[in-house]
Amino acid sequence: MSAILLDIPDQIESRRLILRSPMPGDGPAVHSGVVATLEQLRAWPASMPWAQAEPSVEASETFCRQGRVDYLARKNLPMLLFLKEGGHFIGASGLHAIHWKHKQAEIGYWCHRAWQGQGLIGEAVKAVSDFALTRLQFRRLSCLPDTLNLDSRRVAERAGFQLEGILRNERIAPDGSMRDTALYALTN
């Protein structure tokens, strides 16, 4: 079956979060969250090259609209994270580098600076992982944080991902330096 024919809900929920496909009009909230967290995101230039320059509201809206198109086309499944209580935008996660034939994908995530340290991103990663392994019947998810990004590595480990190895000199940062990547996986 073609991936375009798969019935995939536009949103899933966890205990405290609504995780949903980006929609037109989400750009200002995403922009605000990225700008507030830019300093922290820039610490990982090889794994988050999109955060090296401050985006415009228009660029953030473009990201949301393209994310919606990709979600509908089943190319990638980006998800924006909102608190159930109050509806605040708290970050993003989702599945990318999807290989439908092999039933595998990569998971990515980041958390708005104002909402860090509350276990929300871990909750989101667990929800997206469960969704991928159960609803989509994926057999493998991988997570590829920079080896020095200990917070991101802890999120992966708490969500049940296992370290499979270190990919040495796997990425090139914008300054030309080589960066190592930790390869985590969760299998079904």
Statement: the pTM of the whole predicted model exceeds 0.85: yes
User: Given pLDDT bands bounded at 50, 70 and 90, which one contains residue 37?
Assistant: very high
- The b-or-e profile of 119-138 (16+ CB within 10 A means b, else e) is ebbbbbbbbbbebbbeebeb
Under DSSP, the state recorded for 132 is I
* H helix and E strand count, the chain: 4, 8
* pLDDT tens by residue, 135-174: 999 999 999 999 999 999 999 999 999 999 999 999 888 7
**Residue 146 burial (C-beta neighbours within 10 Å; 0-12, 13-18, 19+):** buried
Of 10, 88, 25, whose CA–CA distance to 60 is shortest?
A: 25
CATH topology of domain 10-137: Aminopeptidase (3.40.630)
Mean pLDDT value across residues 30-57 = 90
Residue 1 pLDDT greater than 80, yes or no: no
Q: What are phi and psi of 124, to 5 degrees?
A: -65, -45
Instruction: Read off the pLDDT of residues 62-79 as tens digits, 9 standing for 90 and up.
Output: 999 999 999 999 999 999
Q: What percent of the chain has pLDDT over 90?
A: 86
Average pLDDT over the chain, rounded to an integer: 95
Question: Would you say residue 102 has pLDDT above 80?
Answer: yes
- Where residue 125 falls among pLDDT bands split at 50, 70, 90? very high
Q: How many CA atoms lie within 13 A of 24 on its CB side?
A: 1
Q: Is the pLDDT of residue 45 over 90?
A: no
Predicted confidence at residue 22, as pLDDT, reads 98
What is the four-CA torsion angle of 174, 170, 120, 65, rounded to 10 degrees?
60
Question: Residue ranges of the domains in the chain?
Answer: 10-137
Rounded-to-integer distance, Cα 56 and Cα 35, Å: 9
Closest among 72, 70, 67 to 7, alpha carbons compared: 72
- pLDDT given at position 48: 85
Alpha carbon separation from 8 to 66, 103, 137, 141, 164 (Å, rounded): 17, 15, 12, 17, 29
